[in-house]
Amino acid sequence: MSESLRRHSDYGQVGLDEADLSRDPVEQFLEWLRDAESAEVFEPNAMVLSTVAADGAPSSRTVLLRAAEPSGFEFVTTLSSRKGTELQARPAVSLLFPWYALRRQVIVLGDAHPITAEESDTYWVDRPRGSQISAWASEQSRPIASRAELERRVAALEERFADGAVPRPSAWGAVRVVPRSIEFWQGRSSRLHDRLRFERADAASPWSVQRYQP
């Protein structure tokens, strides 16, 4: 058995009290994100996105957060991919930010919806050219015969768009998750972790805070 499977790490005495929280959970999230950036956590904006297929089967993958605003949490994707089609059919999703080095995590539950073409265009023009080419080359979530085939597509697209800007594919766009709950988790000794969750009935309702048992 691997040694890590038997190890029980002590998470320390740094706690999270209700008095520590901002009144706005998005502001609290941004404060913790800045802490992760200051601690040089690798890809501090990385989050595990979980979706549910039409048959009820869950799936998860890591994506990058691109914005956190009062209106919601935004990321970009190929809307024809597995996650894209699942969230359009069943918009309820989970976002998990695993900041292990800080003994912290944030869990967001909410509903995901594609946003406007104009907003997606703004994200697109900020992407590195190589990432734009890759978005055209990859039919995300679909099988491919080999890595070489993918690289041939990239080379062909680099030649196709050599003389100008790379346009945004129609299937590529930004998604906004409107949160219903945002939980802040702080690891503590003896697994007596702190869990404080902001909750609301809908986007027009005020937030309330509830402590949950670890």
Task: Say which range, 5-14, 62-71, 104-113, 176-185, has the weakest mean pLDDT.
Answer: 5-14
Mean pLDDT, residues 165-189 taken together: 97
Query: How many domains does the chain divide into?
Result: 1
Domain assignment present for 192: yes
Tell whether 49 is covered by a domain.
yes
Residue 203 CA: distances (Å) to CA of 115, 192, 207, 208: 16, 31, 9, 13
Residue 117: inside a domain? yes
Domain range for 110: 9-212
Instruction: Kindly state the average pLDDT of the residues 173-200.
Output: 97
Is 197 in contact with 210 (CB distance < 8 Å)?
A: yes
Choosing from 191, 197, 200, 211, the catalytic residue is 191
- 26 located within any domain: yes
Is 153 inside a domain boundary?
yes
Active site residue 191: yes
At 13, is the pLDDT very low, low, confident or very high (cuts 50, 70, 90)?
A: confident
Residue 1 lies in a domain: no
CATH of the domain at 187: 2.30.110.10
Q: How confident is the model at residue 162 (pLDDT cuts 50, 70, 90)?
A: very high
Is residue 205 situated within a structural domain? yes
Q: Has residue 68 been placed in a domain?
A: yes
Query: Rounded mean pLDDT of 72-91?
Result: 95
The model's pTM is 0.93
The pLDDT value given to residue 10:
87
pLDDT at residue 4 greater than cutoff 90: no
Give pLDDT tens digits for 16-53. 999 999 999 999 999 999 999 999 999 999 999 999 99
Q: How far apart are CA 124 and CA 76, in angstroms?
A: 9
Binding-site residues sit at: 61-66, 82-83, 105, 123, 127, 131, 140-141, 185, 191-193, 195
Q: What Cα–Cα distance (Å) separates residue 85 from each residue in 81, 110, 111, 112, 208?
A: 6, 17, 14, 11, 32
